Structure 1
Amino acid sequence: MLPCIEKMRDTLSYQTALLAGATGTATLCLLLTNLLTAPAIAMRAEEDQLAGLAQVMPLERYQNDILKSEQHFSTEGHDYAMFTAMNAQGQVTGYVLKTESMGYAGAISLLIGTDPQGEILGVRVLSHAETPGLGDKIELAKSDWILAFDGHSLGNTGDEQWAVRKDGGEFDQFSGATITPRAIVNGVHRALKDLPLKQDLSPTEETP
């Protein structure tokens, strides 16, 4: 190897340039990877969200792009995302509320689907950190407890009934775990009471 080249390799500027070149190449590779995978990731996220909504809002109830109907509001410190289901004529056929309720081990993320009159079509837990074997019975995969909300509304279930049986209500609690089901019942009840306040946010017809 020529002495001048070997000497150049020992200089700080050469080493810096070499490092910069390697960093630039790595950055370019990451950018290209993101550009190639971002659409697929976004599509998968949309599919997952639609699958979640379908558990509380039957597909046959709407023909609009329900994800584009998403709106946000807060009531007395409680945050909601609201999706509006509409038929081909632009008539509202239901609502889906996404909210959180504080459980034993942290926030429990909920989806609540209702018809236009506020009768529950379905409730599902999206995420939680409750105790395995106890509080995780709120998952449909672990028990059918969450199905007990179907058909309930503010009209057919009085305020005093929106509680677990231990508190004088009509919803079962779990053996050794009362805080978790209580949090779900309270969260669903609160969402139903907050929904009528925000139905005026819903579009009257589907936007193109």
Structure 2
Amino acid sequence: MSADARRAIVRVAHSIHCRGLTHGRTGNLAVRDGERVLVTPTGVSLADVDADQLSVVALDGAHLEGPPPTKEAFLHVAMLRVRPDANAVVHTHSVHAAAVSCLSDIDADNPIPPLTAYYGMRVGTLRMLPYYAPGDPAATGAVEDAARVTHALLLRNHGPVVAGVDLDTAVDALEELEHTAQLFFLTRGLATSPLTSAQLHAFATPSGRNPS
């Protein structure tokens, strides 16, 4: 696996932890490198990720090299398999997005309204999946089906999973999702004016709503 991919994972992992987008030993990242995927290992805080201690898996999820991968590696490879436009996936338990995933009165096809232009540009369409226990590969089919529609998913009672053309793009989208989830709670119960379908459509690109 390329040294550049390893350095990118370490840089982004440390940044995510420093910015409070994850906590403890939660959250994981993946980068596609040809037919193989570099993934953060199991049981390691993103603050402590090391370039020489990353896992390598195949696109079918088979462990090829390095320490055991995160038990949620299947989420990453499932999204990468069905999204040829994506080369990276980021999953966190960021507080406000995770809180939205716990609400009972949420529309799974539109769990967070598109309240800002940057949400429209970087996230666009968000889908919430049914609950699966963390690490349960039974979620694979649901992840693949949803990822064919959008690069941004919300796992019920869990957190967001976002794919991008590279790690920085995926993290930008994830951070915008978290920020908009916070706005959602700040404005809940108040009249809001989310972006219209036409306004969202204006942000669409050939590779999905995932701008650089």
TM-score bracket relative to the smaller structure: under 0.3
Higher helix residue share: 1
Which one has the largest radius of gyration? 1
